[in-house]
Amino acid sequence: MNRITSFEQYQQEYKRSVETPEAFWAEQAEQFTWHKKWDNVLEWNFDEPSIKWFIGGQLNITENCLDRHLEKRGNQTALIWEPNNPEDEVRKFTYKELHSEVCRFANVLKKNGAKKGDRICIYMPMIPELTIAVLACARIGAIHSVVFGGFSFKSLSDRIHDADCNVVITSDGAYRGAKEIPLKNVIDEALLTCPSVKKVIVYKHINTEVKMESGRDVWWQDEIKNSSADCPAEIMDAEDMLFILYTSGSTGKPKGVVHTIAGYMTFVDYTFRNVFQYNDGDIFWCTADVGWITGHSYLVYGPLLAGGTTLMFEGIPTYPDAGRFWQVIDKHQVAIFYTAPTAIRSLEALGLDFVKPYKLDSLKVLGTVGEPINEFAWNWYNENIGKKKCPIVDTWWQTETGGIMISPLAGITKTKPGFATLPLPGVQPILLDEQGKELQGNNVEGRLCFKFPWPGIIRTTYQNHKRCKETYFETFKGYYFTGDACKRDEEGYYHISGRVDDVIKVSGHLLGTSEIENAIDQHPDIVESAVVGFPHEIKGWGIYAFVICEHERKDADALKKEIIETVTKNMGAIAKPDKIQVVQGLPKTRSGKIMRRILRKIAEGDLSNLGDTSTLLDPSIVEEIKKGAH
């Protein structure tokens, strides 16, 4: 398999990728199956923005994930599934089997009226049928929009609405540790306000009773029975949409990040092979849910494009106990393990007794993603899981970048605790100061931007191109702006400091503060709220909500409980505030803008240094908030 094998080669490839990016990426794309080769590698401008890769090319990504491998690896395992309950049976699919399941389900989709260009919402547990559903959409040229199973009916219906989906794929329910989650009920509630949805295909997984609406709802198992395994792939244009994935932003409404087929495919394949240094036969385990970009790129598409073996785990790290990850690694002889810092911190906190029973000697490479990893957690991971013999790749990227941008290449380039280190070939970072001036040389800190497109870059935000432009391309003209602050140290290595906008990373999940505020404000007694993040030992960031009540409520604890329920209902359990403080007012400027800087300081417990409060409409508010802070 073609990949970078030395530091010198990394340097050469990097140089080449900057000098002749089009030739560089065209070479990476050569290996794929194309129905028609591209006419032009790249056309772009960051002003509109308009970015197109492999223009004129025609292909289907599933032929590259599946058909292309059948001859050589038809009988190799493509997918291993580890169930929530360790006593239940493992399921495995060879490339041949996965190919045939995808084709059969693609025919089910067609039979149920789905066609090229339709948007299909997938709301499923982490079971093989989720991967099959994703690939079946791509097979027929439908655009998948996977929604994380932890989102509530309200978040779900917003996403279905925004993408105007006509088909939903779900299951009766999901197992999550000892809990059962009734997914179909959530769908039913969401669909009360989504008239665009004509069909719901339900996979029976936990055998719980569900309501099936006649004419609309059908069972996966019934539909698949007589479905043929012959389904020619729809021929797609390189720049046709592959999927929409919603992510939080500074405003209340999540945005649908759009990725297109050929560029995403090329970038994810290249980054997968090089960052993880994947070798034939390695078992690769990415613990992320397919509901997030990490699951799309490195659980489904990346490993399959590379002809690898991907492991999918239905459960949670602490069920039946906090040794589950390590047990699964031994059980399946996992070679490459990719997880989130928040998982590492929470398992570290539970102690080494859960690690000791396991050998972990199959591991070769470890990875992290989603948020900064502090040095302590990095060392714990290195010593106790990697036994100091596995390079750790701290991979920096975003939903919008499609794949890994800044990261060590395992065993090839140097690692440094807390550092994402160096850009991948084809990736051109630049640090700007607040005025947009380039910070040159080393030992500088600024806003992380990119000055040249890579194939996996976001193309638009669904049905709202203006928002894409404003969010990523207008802050600094001519650059893609990430929203992150970043340091380049004396050696030229990159360290991500964190977000500079109104989003917070809670357990690695990106949440918009205004989105959480909207959810809180649904409570009938709340007139206004302001949400900020505060440093949290396990989650990275916790959620601190300041709320104003319409009338005084003596039962403060009951109120807090109700607020948490309201948020769970309107957004999902991942957005539950960790701390809620009832206040009489919020620190606002004379023009009515909430001064979040002050609230952030208070939430962090840094009461001494609140900066200038004289411009506030009512500075006395701050004193009152300080007194009630916790």
Can you give the binding site for ligand WT7, defined by CB under 6 A? 247, 292-294, 369-372, 394-399, 420, 482-484, 496, 499, 505, 510
User: For ligand WT7, which is the closer residue by CB, 217 or 394?
Assistant: 394
Least distance (Å) between residue 464 CB and ligand WT7: 17
- If the CB atoms of residues 341 and 587 are measured against ligand WT7, the closer one turns out to be 341
Nearest approach in angstroms of CB 491 to ligand WT7 is 18
- What is the distance of C-alpha 477 from the center of its chain? 27
Q: How far is the CB of 578 from ligand WT7 (least distance, A)?
A: 19
* Shortest distance in whole angstroms from residue 191 CB to ligand WT7: 27
Q: Which is nearer to ligand WT7, 293 or 328 (CB)?
A: 293
**Which of 349, 242, 354, 350 has the alpha carbon at shortest distance from 293?**
242
Calpha distance 509→487 (Å, rounded): 22
Angle among Cα 552, 557, 560 to the nearest 5 degrees reads: 80
Chain CA centroid to CA 114, Å: 26
Question: In 10 A of CB 359, how many CB atoms?
Answer: 11
β-bridge partners, 461: 257
Q: How many CA atoms lie within 13 A of 630 on its CB side?
A: 9
Q: Are 572 and 150 in contact (CB under 8 A)?
A: yes
Nearer to ligand WT7, 335 or 420 (CB): 420
Q: Among residues 401 and 581, whose Cβ is nearest to ligand WT7?
A: 401
Minimum distance between the CB of residue 269 and ligand WT7, rounded to whole angstroms? 17
Question: How far apart are CB 379 and ligand WT7 at their closest, in Å?
Answer: 16
**DSSP tag of 142:** P
Contact assessment for residue 617 and residue 593, using Cβ atoms and an 8 Å cutoff? no
Is residue 129 within 8 A of residue 104, CB to CB? The reply is no
CA distance from start to end of the chain: 55
Least distance from ligand WT7 to the Cβ atom of residue 346, Å = 17
Nearer to ligand WT7, 398 or 471 (CB): 398
Residue with Cβ nearer ligand WT7 (28 or 421): 421
Cis peptide before 320 (omega within 30 of 0): yes
Q: How far is the CB of 390 from ligand WT7 (least distance, A)?
A: 17
CA atoms within 13 A on the CB side of 121: 32
Contact 329, 285 (CB under 8 A): yes
Instruction: Please report how close the Cβ of residue 45 comes to ligand WT7 at its closest, in angstroms.
Output: 23
CB of 289 to ligand WT7, least distance (A): 11
Q: Which residues pair with 90 in a beta bridge?
A: none
Choice between 142 and 511, CB closer to ligand WT7: 511
623 — alpha (psi -120 to 50), left (phi > 0) or beta? Answer: alpha
What H or E segment, with its residue span, contains residue 199?
strand 199-203
Q: CA-CA distances (angstroms) from residue 139 to 236, 303, 453? A: 10, 17, 27
CB nearer to ligand WT7: pick between 423 and 483: 483
The answer to whether the CB of 156 falls within 8 A of the CB of 190 is yes
Of residues 157, 46, 103, the one with CA closest to residue 450? 46
629: amino acid identity, one letter: A
The minimum distance between CB 450 and ligand WT7, in angstroms, equals 12
Which residue's CB is nearer to ligand WT7, number 234 or number 289?
289
**Among candidates 248, 291, 162, which has minimal Cα distance to 519?**
248
Nearest one of 220, 261, 270 to 243, comparing CA atoms: 261
- Give residue 126's region: left, alpha or beta (phi > 0; psi -120 to 50): beta
Distance CA 391, CA 400 (A): 26
Q: 135: which 2 tokens?
A: 């690939």
Q: Distance between CA 457 and CA 78 in Å, rounded?
A: 27
Q: How far is the CB of 398 from ligand WT7 (least distance, A)?
A: 4
Smallest gap from residue 241 Cβ to ligand WT7 (A): 18
Q: Could you tell me which residues come within 8 angstroms of residue 201 by beta carbon, excluding any fewer than 6 positions away? A: 108, 109, 112, 167, 168, 169, 170, 218, 219, 220, 223
- In the complex with ligand WT7, the residue whose CB is nearer, 212 or 485, is 485
* Least distance in angstroms from the C-beta of 48 to ligand WT7: 22
Tokens of 294: 């990490």
Q: How far is the CB of 385 from ligand WT7 (least distance, A)?
A: 17
Closer to ligand WT7 at the Cβ: 10 or 338? 338
Residue whose beta carbon is closest to ligand WT7: 399
> Which of 288/547 has CB closer to ligand WT7?
288
User: For residue 106, which amino acid is it?
Assistant: A
Query: Quick one: 46 or 246, whose CB is closer to ligand WT7?
Result: 246
CB closer to ligand WT7 out of 449 and 603: 449
Encoded tokens for 265 = 């495919």
